[in-house]
Structure 1
Amino acid sequence: MNSPDIPSSATLTPERPHVRLGFVALSDAAPLAAAALRDMGRRHGISIELCRQPSWAAVRDKLLSGELDAAHALYGLVYGVQLGIGGPQADMAVLMVLNRNGQAITLSNPLADAIGRGASVKDALASLGRTPVIAQTFPTGTHAMWLYYWLAAQGVHPLSDVRSLVIPPPRMADALVEGTLDGFCAGEPWHAVAEACGAGRTVVYTSEIWPDHPEKVLACRRDFVALYPNTARALIRTMLEACEWLDSREHRVEIAGALASPDLLGVRRQLIEARLGSVTGVAPLRFFEGGAVNYPRASDGLWFITQYRRWGMLDAALDDAAIAQAVNQTALYAQAARAAGIAIPDETQTATLCDGRVWDGRDAKAYLAGFAMHA
C-alpha cells in the first residue's frame, strides 16, 4: 500500500490550511477553477490559491521547488519526473485523475482537406514535400504520447517521419496561424481557437485514440503526501466534489464563463463552452461519473512507462509495475473517496486503442513487445 490506513485516533485536520495549486490555461483545469471560485475546500479545512503557469515545464519546476503544493498536471509529466527523463528526478505522487478524454489533434487546412478527401494520414503528410512539424506540450506528456501513438497507428514514424516540437498550449493556435506548425496535439480550448481563426481543423479526438483515456491528474511531490497526509486527503475530497459538480451541463456552461477570465484562460466564453459544455458525443470531457473517472489506477501510469520504452526514452532495467504502484496513491485516494461515500472502481480495466491493441496492465512486457513500430 502506498499510504497507510488512517489510525482511528488520528485527527483529520489539514496540516496546511492554505494550498497553492498550479494549472496551465486549459479547459480541463475546470475542477480547480470550480473548487477555488466556489470555495469548496472550506468544508474540508483548506483554502485554495490558483497559480496560473505559462507552461508544463513551469509546473514541473515549481512543484519541485515547493512554490506549488500540488497541480493540475499531465499524467505523463508526473512519470517523466519520477523517471528523470529529460530533467530532474524526484519522487512524485498522483493523488487522483481529474479528467478523461477532451484532447485532440488539429492539422493545417491543406492537410485536413486532404484527409477529408480520403487521403491517408501518411500520404497527406508526404504531400507537403518536406518534414511535417507537429507540436505537443511536454516531452513525456500525454499529448506527446497520444500524438506518437496515433501517428504510428497511421504508419507514420513519430520520431523520423515528422518533426515534433514542444510548445505551451496557449501558443498552439498562433503558431498554426503563423505557419510555424503543420499541426498540434493539445487540450482545449486551443483547437476551438485554431478553428475559429481559420488556421486548421481537428482531425481526431484523443477519445478516438484511447476511449476514456486518463488525462490530467492532481499531482504533488511524494514527500508532500508524507508530511501532510490530511491535507492531501482534503485536496482529494475537494477535487472530487468539484468534479462531481462538473457532471452537470449547466455547471459546465457556468464554469466556461469563469474560465474566460484573463486570470484563467483568457479565451472567449463561446470557444471554451463549445467543447467543454457537451457531456455526450465523440470527445466528452469526463470529470466524475460516480468516481469512475478519478481512481488513480496504477495500470494507467504503467502504460506511459511502456510508451517511454517504446520510443527509446527509457531503457534502464526497472520494476515498472512497482514504480507505478508507488506513484499512484491508490490507498490515500480510497481513504478520501470512501469518506465521501464514493465507490472504488475495479483495479483492472481493459482498453482497446485505435490500432486494435488491448491494454490491461497485466503483462506490460508482452504488450510492449507487440508493437511493430518503435524507436
Structure 2
Amino acid sequence: MAGIINNQLRTVRIGFMPLTDCASLVMAAECGFDRQYGIRIVLSRETSWANVRDKMTSGALDAAHVLYGLMYGVQLGIGCQQQAMAVLMNLSRNGQAVTLSRTLAEQGALDGPSLAQHLRDLPRSATFAHTFPTGNHAMLLYYWLAAHGIDPLRQARALTLPPAQMVGSLRAGMIDGFCAGEPWGQRAIDEDVGVTAVTSQQIWPDHPGKVLGTTAAFAASEPGTCRAMIAALLDAARWIEASSANKERTATVLAGSAYLNTGRETIAARLMGQYDNGAGERWTDQRPLSFHGDGEVNFPYLSDGMWFMTQHQRWGLLRGEPDYLAQAQAVNRIDLYKGAAEMTGTQLPASNMRGSTLIDGVRWDGSDPRGYAGSFAIRQ
C-alpha cells in the first residue's frame, strides 16, 4: 500500500485521453478503488498523445493512460529526447479499428483485399491517419496495410491526428481512413462518414492496448505508489467486467462531459461487444475490448513490448537494432505488477512471454525478435 501520511491520501496525477479504454482509470477514481490503497487519483484530460508524453516526461503528470508503442518510442529516443520509462501494467486489449471513408466504401473498398485493388486504380495516394508515429495505431495500421500488399509509406500517405479529430477529418475529405481507439470508429458509423474495415483484434487477436505508464525515475522513487495504482486499477477492471450492469454504468460515466463527452450509446455498443461495420454487417465480437480477463489482460508481457520495437525497426524508426529483451525487461516492471497482483489476488501467467498469430499468418512469440523484424517483405 502506498500509505497514508498524516491521515492524507497520496495524490497521484494521471493523464488520460478521452477514449473508451481509459475506463478502469475513470472507474477507479469514481468508485473509490484508489482510496482503498492509500492514494487519490486525480485525472487530467489531455488533447493529444504528444501532450501526454510531454507532461509525463516533465513530471507534470505522475503517470498516464498511454499508448504502449509511445512508451517504447520515448525509451529509445525516437523523435524525442530519450528518457527511461516504465510500463506498470496493461490497461486494455483489443477494441480498436481501422475505418475507411464512406466514399471509399461506395467505390467498393470495404476491407483489406478490396482496398488493395482500389488503390491500384487511384490516380493519387490515399491518406490514412493514426494517432502517434510510434504508437499502437500506427503500427497496427501499417501491419494491416502491408499484410494486404500495400506499402504504407510508399503507396500511401500517413498523417498523425489526435483521436478526436479523426471523424471530422474523414467528413471533410482530408483523409481516406484512420486507425484509432473507440468511440471514434463507432462515431464515424453513427455520423455516416465511414465504415469499419477491420478491427484491431482481427489484426492481432488479444493484442495489448493502452498501458499505465510512468517514468523510470518515478517508479524507482515511489514503488509503493506504483503498486497502489496498479492494485486500484486491477480492482476497477475486475469490477467493470463483473456484470453487464457494471459495463452499462461505465458507459454512462464515460459519456459525461468530464471524460469522453459523447453519446452514451456510441460508447456502450462496442464496450458490450456489439459491432456494426456501417455496411450492413452486424455481429457480437468474441474478442471485444477487455479490461481484466482474470488478470490475463493486465500482465505486462515482455513479448508485447518487444513486438512494438520490432515494428519500429521494420519501418525505419530506429537507427540501430535494439537489445529487444533487455529493453523490455527494463521497461515492463513485472516486479511492481506482481506486488500489486498479490495485494489484489490477481492470477499471474505461467510465463513472461506469450504468442499469437497475426492477420498475415505469421506467429509472434518473442523468441527471435531480430529475425522477425527482418522477415517482412514490405519494410523500410
User: 1:253-272 residue pairs with structure 2 within 5 A?
Assistant: 253-272=248-267
CA distance change for structure 1 residues 299 and 128 in 2, over 3 Å: closer, same or farther?
same
Of 76, 93, 116, the residue aligned with 1:122 is 116
State the alpha-carbon separation in 1 of the partners of residues 217 and 308 from structure 2: 22
Secondary structure of 1:50's partner? strand
Of 166, 169, 181, the residue aligned with 1:172 is 166
TM-superposed deviation, 1:306: 0.5
Identical residues among aligned pairs (%): 48
User: 1:108-119 residue pairs with structure 2 within 5 A?
Assistant: 108-113=101-106, 114-116=108-110
TM-superposed deviation, 1:339: 2.1
TM-superposed deviation, 1:201: 0.5
Letter in 2 for 1:67: A
TM-superposed deviation, 1:117: 9.3
Q: Please report the RMSD computed on the Cα atoms of aligned residues, expressed in angstroms.
A: 1.6
Secondary structure of 1:184's partner? strand
Of 238, 250, 259, the residue aligned with 1:244 is 238
Whether contact under 8 Å (1:14, 1:234) holds in the other structure is no
Secondary structure of 2:293's partner? coil
Matched, 1:18 2:8: no
Which residue does 1:57 correspond to in 2?
50
How many correspondences in the alignment? 365
Q: TM-score, normalised by structure 2?
A: 0.93
Which residue does 2:34 correspond to in 1?
41
User: 1:1-375 residue pairs with structure 2 within 5 A?
Assistant: 13=3, 17-113=10-106, 114-116=108-110, 120-247=114-241, 248-278=243-273, 281-345=285-349, 346-375=351-380
Letter in 1 for 2:84: D
State the alpha-carbon separation in 1 of the partners of residues 182 and 221 from structure 2: 34
TM-superposed deviation, 1:249: 2.2
TM-superposed deviation, 1:373: 1.0
For residues 240-260 of structure 1, the C-alpha deviation after alignment (integer angstroms, 9 at most, x for no partner) is 011111113221111111111
Whether contact under 8 Å (1:31, 1:243) holds in the other structure is yes
CA distance change for structure 1 residues 328 and 130 in 2, over 3 Å: closer, same or farther?
same
TM-superposed deviation, 1:126: 3.1
State the alpha-carbon separation in 1 of the partners of residues 160 and 61 from structure 2: 23
State the alpha-carbon separation in 2 of the partners of residues 344 and 28 from structure 1: 22
Whether contact under 8 Å (2:171, 2:193) holds in the other structure is yes
TM-superposed deviation, 1:127: 3.5
State the alpha-carbon separation in 2 of the partners of residues 297 and 167 from structure 1: 28
Q: TM-score, normalised by structure 1?
A: 0.94
State the alpha-carbon separation in 1 of the partners of residues 172 and 114 from structure 2: 25
TM-superposed deviation, 1:318: 3.2
Whether contact under 8 Å (2:111, 2:198) holds in the other structure is no
Which segments of 5 or more consecutive residues in structure 1 lack a partner in the other structure? 1-10
State the alpha-carbon separation in 1 of the partners of residues 83 and 231 from structure 2: 25
TM-superposed deviation, 1:37: 0.9
State the alpha-carbon separation in 1 of the partners of residues 301 and 358 from structure 2: 17
Secondary structure of 2:295's partner? coil
For residues 309-352 of structure 1, the C-alpha deviation after alignment (integer angstroms, 9 at most, x for no partner) is 11110132432210111000011101110222111112231100
